[in-house]
Chains A and B, each alone.
Chain A
């Protein structure tokens, strides 16, 4: 049998196409790399184009915040105004109130909604009957998949003046009806309760995953040492959750300036605007509804930068305490 041996250039060989198999070559120019990756580049092209156009060009659009942008003059023709709009942010009492609302809602969420997920995960973890556990899990995860329109809609149906709750208050308890949806002081508690109802079940998933990774031997050893269930929880279960808690807290801190746009937007009405308006909704009202593009961009940029700084700081802090951090 005659074998036809062809001399092959390493870069043209079928094996060289694989990037996983390094083939040493002195001249590894950009051009040959591009040729080697030509099919991969074709595959990645739509994705990269997407990120460029819809994620990164808008970042350049941030420059609007330093210009007096008007849609009629266009971007290039609009004059530069430096930090004018950033100064306006801090002079405007309304913006200060909006920032304060945003921070309050986020903080209330971190203090109430976040720990509830941990507690719920611990409670679910204590259930021994696996079928019952799975049944409970599928119920508590469900609200996560509902739209905010549906959740706010359910809230409205239950809390409006002729709704179920006020019906019970008036007819059974002989109390006065409570204007839940228009009372500005009730806005934040209701929003937090909605988040707890919708997301705390879903929030258990990562904790339950961490819990299922704990070796049963640890508990067996603890039992032999005479540890009660509570002590087992304190000394074994909670430490096992620590790194998950830290990572999720870092991520949450980075989003301190977002407080759930759709939810708040749907809950707002003229009566609760003062306590309910947050940065995102404010940017929408100012920028899109009143066409005050530059000012709204400045507020949005301010929000984004604070968020970025918070993530970096939280990540450093986590590392200082010996945790892995996010990156």
Chain B
């Protein structure tokens, strides 16, 4: 590279230090939450700064994982994430592929899709439709009304357009119909892209909180984020965990329970994060290419 002057060297060092500080502010909360969640009662009560557990205690985790309510809500969220992501991928990919071919009404449909990005009917009319279609208080209410993200649909359309047309033409000459082309030619070529879209949809389902509050009345159907809110934000860990406290002689301190719950609910995100990272830059850039 080029020689830098003394002043620029200083700026570079400052730049590095500031960025490091930013990174620390992003990581510090996790470190703190992690260490408190594994700390003992006396350490939590007696010290203000806990950056590493003095003695490792797993009471908070066994308390949470012994709660039926917590396990049930984790199950609900896993179910919504798996089924929801599958529905997302099927609906989005079939529609996106059809839109890359010059299907009847293509321009109109594309316009209508784009329009929903700029204008939506709002919460109340959507709520009424969800109710009228019989989804209220069913887990499908968290899946069907968000079956397609218009943004993802547009990005996926751009992606499918990038697949060479010759492949489609060759398949046509071999006598394949459009559905066969889609399932046997296009989808196998799009596995990495589908994985990326799937990860994004899955993270969305895992993190979704409000639709659970809006559409589900029955607490036994609540997803993990709703329970997590009760544990941490409403500050009622024992009530949210179904009060199986009687079984334990001494309850773990509420702070440790709250932090352990946050970590447990975030763990799946942290696990898929390396995979997400591999894909997202590509995905976002695809979207930035205007079409």
Contacts and interface: CB of A to CB of B under 8 A. Distances in A.
Interface of A: 14-15, 17-21, 30, 33-34, 37, 39-44, 46-48, 50-51, 53-62, 64, 120, 123-124, 126-128, 136, 138-143, 145-150, 152-154, 156-158, 160, 164, 167-168, 171-172, 197, 201, 205-206, 209, 223, 228-229, 244, 254, 261-262, 265-266, 280, 283-284, 287-288, 293, 296-297, 300-301, 303-305, 307-308, 311, 324, 327
Contacts of B129: 53-54, 57-58, 61
Contacts of A56: 112, 116
B118 interface: yes
A141 B274 CA distance: 11
A59 B48 CA distance: 53
Contact of B125 (A59, A145, A254, A266): A59
Interface of B: 1-2, 4-5, 8, 11-12, 15-16, 18-20, 22-23, 25-27, 29, 32-33, 48-49, 90-92, 94-95, 97-99, 101-104, 109, 112-114, 116, 118-130, 133, 144-145, 147-148, 153, 165, 168-169, 172-173, 175, 177-179, 182, 203, 206-210, 214, 225, 228-229, 232-233, 235, 255, 258-259, 262, 265-266, 269, 273, 276-277, 280-281, 284-285, 288, 290
Contact of B258 (A58, A146, A157, A308): A157
Contact of A262 (B95, B119, B210, B266): B210
Nearest to B209: A149
Contacts of A53: 129, 133
Contacts of B182: 43
B262 to A, nearest CB: 6
A169 B287 CA distance: 45
B173 A14 contact: yes
B118 A307 contact: yes
A54 B145 contact: yes
Given A43-B178, A47-B94, A146-B207, A59 B121 contact: yes
Q: Which of A40, A228, A266, A301 has the most chain B CB atoms inside 10 A of its CB? A: A40
A284 B123 contact: yes
B19 A153 contact: no
Contacts of A142: 26, 273
Contact of A43 (B94, B125, B203, B290): B94
Given A17-B172, A37-B178, A44-B95, 19 more contacts: A62-B125, A123-B19, A136-B20, A138-B277, A140-B23, A149-B229, A152-B233, A154-B33, A156-B233, A164-B32, A229-B4, A266-B209, A283-B124, A284-B214, A287-B127, A300-B122, A308-B118, A308-B119, A324-B290
A326 to B, nearest CB: 8
B203 A145 contact: yes
Contacts of A58: 120-122, 125-126, 128-129
Contact of B121 (A50, A62, A140): A62
A55 B120 contact: yes
A153 B16 CA distance: 30
A48 B125 CA distance: 19
